[in-house]
Every structure is written in C-alpha cells, then in structure tokens.
Amino acid sequence: MEEGQDGGASPQNHRVAGAGLLARLYASPHTHRLIPAPVALVLAASIGPAARQRRNPAERRAAERFMADLLLHTPRASEAQELASRWLAEKARVAELFWRPWLLKRSRILGREHWEAVRATDRGCLFVFGHIGATWATTAILGQQGLLHYVVVGPHYFAPLPPGYAGLTVLYRRREYGEKLFGTSHLIPSDRPPERLLELLEAGESLGIAFDVGGSSTIPFLGRSITLSGGVGTLAFKTRAMVLPVVPERHGTRVDVRLLAPIDSAAHPNPQSLRVAIARTFERVVLERPETLELAWYPSPLVTEAPPSAWEGSTSGLPMT
C-alpha cells in the first residue's frame, strides 16, 4: 500500500488481468446505457438468477441456507425459502444498478433532519451502515448531497486487483463510488491504527464505518449471540461522537439513503451498551427487509453464533478489533 499525494492510501494498481471480451463489455457503462434502467432491472430480476444458477448450481442452496440461518430465531423463519428467491432477484437488480452511477443524481437523503440534529451538537458524527442493499452507493450519495465525511474501507480496496470480472468490479467501485468524489485522502484502510479515526471524531469530523464486520465483541442479534468488531462502539464512546445509522433503499431505479434516529454515545455507560443499541437499530431493518441484506462474507457474521462462553463478561468495553 502506498501513500497518495493527498495523504491517503493509494491503490497499488489500476489494471485488471485476465478479463475477457464479454466481461469487459458488461463492465462498460456504454453497454448499460443501451438498455433503459427500468427494462434492465426487470430483465436482471427474471433472467439473472436463472443464468447464475446454471453457472453455479450451489448458489440457490447457499441463499436458502443463508435466509434460513438468518431468520431461524425470528417470526419470519417460515418465509426463508420465499425470501431466498427474493434475495437472489434483488441481488441481480442491485448488481445491474451498480454499473449505472449516473442514476445517483436522482438519489435523495431521507431523514435529513437527523443529520441537522447531529451537526447542531458540534460533536463528531459516526455514520454507521451495514452491508444492506446498494452499499456501494451509500457514501457516494451522502457526499453528493453535501454530507462530506471520511470512510473506513477494507484493505482489499487498496490491494492489487484480482483478475477477471471481479477485478473490473473492484476497479469500477474505486473510481466511480470512491475516488471520483473523495480522492483518496478521505478513504482510510481498516487495518490502519485507530489514532487517525479518533482524531477525526474528536475534531468534530464525520466518519463512515460498517457495524457488521466480524470481530470479538459478542452482540445479541435476531435471537442469537454473534461476534462483531468492537471498534464502532469504542470509537463513538471514546470520542462522545453521535452515531447516525444509515441505510440505502432502492425505489425502482433510484437508490436513496435513509438516515435513522441518531444514537447519543454519551447516554451509554460503556462501549458494549452502545454496540448493542446500534445492533438493535439494524436488527429492525434486517427483519423488515431481509432480502436486501448483502452476503459480503461467507458465512455471514450476522448468522455466525458465538460460543456460549463468549457472552460472559461482555458488558465491559472491549478494544477495537
């Protein structure tokens, strides 16, 4: 990883090896402009899952298992198979929208009053999001709408690009949803020491970070105990930052960002209490729209149960992981 001229980390390369002609054609915005977005989404939802099933017969079984595990301890457990089909269709729609960044000019910020309330406190703001829906669009929409912030990104963002279509996707995400708006100075690798993040929040800046990354802090979620990174709660608690949960919502071909009610870190006795409050906020979102959840890791941290002993003593603050 290299340092950019503007002080941020720079990706190690911008070339993708092993990408065939069909992959490059599909990864071209010119190709996607040939078909109107409403038509493309209908085609993606109806044809996409079947095409993917032919390439990878195990994908549907994995989707059904994911939904069954996710909803096992909830009132929606009996809907798992139906929701798996909806999950596959929604995955195809969102994947199609990914290649149409020009549509973001129509995006809206819903719940902007929550942002205004947070800024009125003159404290740092921690935008917290999960891997839900069009995650790739969240920070871009916030930035385009004037809610400028720094973003914690996975180290893979800066690593050498993988070959083939996967590499084309990473490169497009870097350029269209990160560097074009933020450069690299506002993109902070998650494996960097936390001091920079603490400094930003203590200075009253805004920072975006995901809550649903695996770690060692045990959290109740959808009827089970799971282990997530403790860093989100620790960052907000140490800096007294306001936590602002963020969720992308797809409305037809438009992706909006909804800001939920802020969580005051100063109202919590310790970081663990704050982590639980954040998880409860997203728990309601996931239970309402489980088909929008992104399977960013397999198995998902949201369905990986913690061993029974892990919950003991977990009410105290834990270091960032």
Asked if 244 contacts 118 with a C-beta cutoff of 8 angstroms, the reply is: yes
Q: Give, rounded to a whole angstrom, the gap between the first and last alpha carbons of the chain.
A: 21
Q: Quick check: is 45 in a domain?
A: no
| Nearby residues of 112 by Cβ (< 8 Å), 6 or more positions away | 259
Q: What is the pLDDT of residues 25-38, one digit of tens each?
A: 999 999 999 999 99
User: Which residues are 264's β-sheet partners?
Assistant: 242
Which residues of the chain, if any, have pLDDT below 50?
Answer: 1-2, 4-7, 311-321
Q: Quick check: is 22 in a domain?
A: no
* Dist. CA 56–CA 282, nearest whole Å: 31
| The pLDDT value given to residue 94 | 97
| The pLDDT value given to residue 155 | 81
| The pLDDT value given to residue 10 | 61
Q: Quick check: is 71 in a domain?
A: no
* Dist. CA 172–CA 292, nearest whole Å: 22
221: helix, strand or coil = strand
Which has the closest alpha carbon to 230: 157, 126, 314? 314
Q: Quick check: is 257 in a domain?
A: yes
* Dist. CA 212–CA 282, nearest whole Å: 9
DSSP 178-197: IIHHHTTTTEEETTS-THHH
| The pLDDT value given to residue 194 | 93
Structure tokens at 266: 């100063």
| Nearby residues of 190 by Cβ (< 8 Å), 6 or more positions away | 152, 153, 154, 155, 213
Give the domain extent around 140.
107-311
* Dist. CA 184–CA 2, nearest whole Å: 11
Helix axes 231-239, 195-202, angle to 10 degrees: 40
| The pLDDT value given to residue 313 | 40
Specify the DSSP element, H or E, that contains 206: strand 206-210
* Dist. CA 81–CA 211, nearest whole Å: 27
Asked if 80 contacts 312 with a C-beta cutoff of 8 angstroms, the reply is: no
Q: Quick check: is 240 in a domain?
A: yes
User: Which residues are 99's β-sheet partners?
Assistant: none
Residue 22's alpha-carbon distances to 18, 28, 169, 174, 235, in angstroms, are: 12, 10, 14, 21, 44
Q: Quick check: is 283 in a domain?
A: yes
Strand boundaries in 234-311, DSSP class E: 242-251, 254-259, 263-264
Total domains in the chain come to 1
Q: Quick check: is 236 in a domain?
A: yes
In terms of Cβ atoms closer than 10 Å to its own Cβ (0-12, 13-18, 19+), residue 95 is middle
Residue with tokens 């085609």: 43
